[in-house]
Amino acid sequence: MSSHHESILREPLITGENITYAKVTDDVLVPVENKANRAWWIGFTIASLGALMWVVAVSYTFWTGIGAWGLNKTVGWAWDITGFVWWVGIGHAGTLISAVLLLFRQNWRNSINRSAEAMTIFAVICAATYVISHMGRPWLAYWPLPLPNQFGSLWVNFNSPLVWDVFAISTYFSVSLIFWYTGLLPDIATIRDRATGLRRKIYSVLSFGWNGSVKTWQRFEAVSLILAGVSTPLVLSVHTIVSMDFATSVIPGWHTTIFPPYFVAGAIFSGFAMVQTLLLIARKVMNFENYITMFHIESMNKIIIVTGSIVGVAYLTELFIAWYSGAEYEQYAFLNRVSGPYWWAYWSMMTCNVISPQLFWFKKIRTSIAASWILSIVVNIGMWFERFVIIVTSLHRDYLPSSWVMFYPSVVDVCVFIGSIGLFFTLFLLFLRFLPAIAMAEVKLLVKTSSEQSKKALIKAGKVDKEHAKFYVESLDKYDSVNQADYAKN
Amino acid sequence: MSKTKYILGSFADPDDMMHGIDKLQENNVPIYDVFTPMPIHGIEDKLGIKRSRLPKAAFGFGLLGTLTAFTMLYYMLVYDWPMNIGGKPAFAAPDFIPVMFELTVLFGAYGMVFTFIYKNHLFPGRAPRVMNLRATNDRFIIAIDAQEVKDAKKVDSLLKGAGAVEVLHNDRKYVSYE
């Protein structure tokens, strides 16, 4: 298999000279096998201060109760659930990259899946902390579990999406975790076999004694494929169920059948934006330019346009259906979103999610690193506003005008949210430092078929149609890690 | 015979290694195992390894999850303590689907991964049975049990002829215990 050359017309997935199996290992393990550099320490210090703030803010919430937040009797859900849905959504891109793209045999996933899956796990951890802290009495957090009546409650109500969510989120977290960890085993073994002393002992325990024999690899591949197969419907079910937390209630603006696909598209959209935010920096700081190439960045930007447009269509459909329904309350809910006191949140959402990603239609913009990074942040902000708009604007003016209020976040609300970002980055930076951020074994599969160097060798050997070679060299124009002049003499 | 326990052919290129396997098989040299840093497609057929039955195991575990979820839901909501929620039927089958689905995935995934770990004798803290430390990095290793070959020299030349970068004679089976 490894000797089959892929079409010259396809862009290379690994660039750079002298890419060998050993070089892949060396390059990927630089951050793991060496002392952390200053950039890492600065990032880690800031992130762990954020995480500390999160610990303080969540502890304060536990101590005083959710009265510490800006909630009131009309708006009983606000920043907490906004943060929860935002984080769960971000997690979805990891599973999409590792599972759905594996099923579609998209080889470009090989160099980004590991860090995207890590991101999934950390994002779901952040989301889960919101679930616990918004309960108000976290010591009763076991109540949604199906426990016998002696534990203080009746059997849980399995007709409720909130109970489905308990099962969905915990299954999602558990399955993502083993999917990620099984994939890590061969790479941890690589670190183990290069390390000495205590490091070798630690990585030896973590590697489960992996040795890369034929049978191990064969079963490993079967496991990866099946896990990808079950994770694909799983990831769709998770955000569908999250959306049902809203859709099955009778609140105008929530009670719509469009919610599941709309939420899933939004989740993929925000997840890819977060992958972009993280990887554009990681690629630069950790010198991964040859593995996470412009092709990867452009492909992700294309997914961002598609999902952003789906989300845009969903927003417009919502507005149309609200008008078309003839239901007074539904119509008012949307009128209030667009032009009520939270109009700025609605229009921030529209601008960030629907209008600005359309800039990616321009090739110049979607292959520019600076523009991709800025737009990915814009999308992250927009998706946060989307959840805020859905949750708060639907609640703050309910059926009874005498109870209409505004929601203002308290300092604790803000600290929990910013702190959760700190927690996320702390975990992510630790991951970059101690585990290989690129799936080495999977990237090694591409060395002989899809690397720039193998394609260059083919052209040199004159095995390629001249026209095709010309097309290929032109397609390299966008790469920042390739020198096109190398091809001029051929 | 010398003290050599295993003869290892160390290849830098997977295609050369596949060629090496062919060469050895043509000469009826039994191959003990092959260690590679990445999965090699098509190697199972060459070595006559049967298709993994893990997918079937996963299906079985998944089915177990579905049935467990259904039994649990039916027992709790219909048999043990039916609740009157807005006069709706206790046996609300469509509402059972999400939890049944999630448990199917959970049982299927964990059942399969634990079977994988069990069958390959992988667990945290197990001493890695590695014959060559570069097999997880950049070398493709064919291991041959020295007790089963009569002419070690011939094996060496077969491996070299197929493109092996080095041929090692290991006195111990695994190097990683040191």
Give the ipTM of the model, two decimals please: 0.91
Report d(CA A212, CA A216) in Å as an integer.
6
Report d(CA A423, CA B120) in Å as an integer.
36
Mark whether B139 and B163 lie in a shared domain.
Answer: yes
Confirm whether B165 is domain-assigned: yes
| Sign of CA pseudo-dihedral B103, B105, B107, B110 | negative
Query: How close B155 comes to chain A (CA, Å)?
Result: 20
**Res. A5 pLDDT band, cuts 50 70 90:** low
First-to-last alpha carbon distance for chain B, in angstroms, is 25
* Among A482, A281, A268, CA closest to A369: A281
- DSSP code of A397? S
Which residues are registered as beta bridge partners of B166? B10
Q: Does B97 touch chain A (CB under 8 A)?
A: no
**Res. B130 pLDDT band, cuts 50 70 90:** confident
Q: What is the chain B residue with the closest CA to A228?
A: B109
pLDDT tops 60 at residue A3: no
Query: How close A77 comes to chain B (CA, Å)?
Result: 24
Range of B43's domain? 6-51+130-170
pLDDT tops 90 at residue A137: no
Contacts of A442 in chain B (CB under 8 A): 38
Mark whether B100 and B138 lie in a shared domain.
Answer: no
**Percent of chain B with pLDDT strictly greater than 90:** 25
A248 or B176, greater pLDDT:
A248
Report d(CA A413, CA A419) in Å as an integer.
10
Q: Is B51 exposed, middle or buried (0-12, 13-18, 19+ CB in 10 A)?
A: exposed
pLDDT mean over A225-229: 91
Q: At what angle do helices A21-33 and A161-194 cross, to 10 degrees?
A: 110
Token pair listed for A152: 């203080």
What confidence tens digit (pLDDT) does each residue in A313-322 have? 999 999 999 9
pLDDT for the residue B2: 67
Mark whether B109 and B140 lie in a shared domain.
Answer: no
pLDDT for the residue A417: 93
User: With contact defined as beta carbons under 8 Å apart, do A117 and A93 qualify?
Assistant: no
What confidence tens digit (pLDDT) does each residue in A409-428 have? 999 999 999 999 999 999 99
Q: Does B172 touch chain A (CB under 8 A)?
A: no
- In chain A, what are the domains? 21-141+155-450 (1.20.1630.10)
pLDDT for the residue A378: 94
How far is the CA of A304 from the CAs of A96, A272, A282, A387, B107, in angstroms? 13, 7, 19, 18, 33
Q: Does B42 touch chain A (CB under 8 A)?
A: yes
B81, B83, B109 ranked by CB distance to A227: nearest? B109
What is the identity of the amino acid at A123? A
**Percent of chain A with pLDDT strictly greater than 90:** 50
The CATH number of the domain where B165 resides is what? 3.30.70
pLDDT mean over A178-199: 90
Confirm whether B23 is domain-assigned: yes
Report d(CA B139, CA A180) in Å as an integer.
25
B8: number of CA atoms within 13 Å, CB side?
A: 25
Query: How close A166 comes to chain B (CA, Å)?
Result: 9
Mark whether B44 and B70 lie in a shared domain.
Answer: no
Confirm whether B124 is domain-assigned: no
Mark whether B59 and B94 lie in a shared domain.
Answer: yes
pLDDT mean over A469-479: 83
Contacts of A207 in chain B (CB under 8 A): 128
Q: Does B71 touch chain A (CB under 8 A)?
A: no
Report d(CA A303, CA B63) in Å as an integer.
34
Report d(CA A64, CA A123) in Å as an integer.
26
Q: Does A163 touch chain B (CB under 8 A)?
A: yes
Confirm whether B175 is domain-assigned: no
**Percent of chain A with pLDDT strictly greater than 70:** 98
Confirm whether B176 is domain-assigned: no
Q: Is B178 exposed, middle or buried (0-12, 13-18, 19+ CB in 10 A)?
A: exposed
pLDDT mean over A43-47: 94
Contact B81 A171 (CB under 8 A): no
pLDDT mean over A225-235: 92
Query: How close A327 comes to chain B (CA, Å)?
Result: 24
- What is the tally of structural domains in chain B? 2
When the pLDDT of each residue in chain A is averaged and rounded to a whole number, the result is 89
pLDDT for the residue A346: 94
Report d(CA A483, CA A417) in Å as an integer.
43
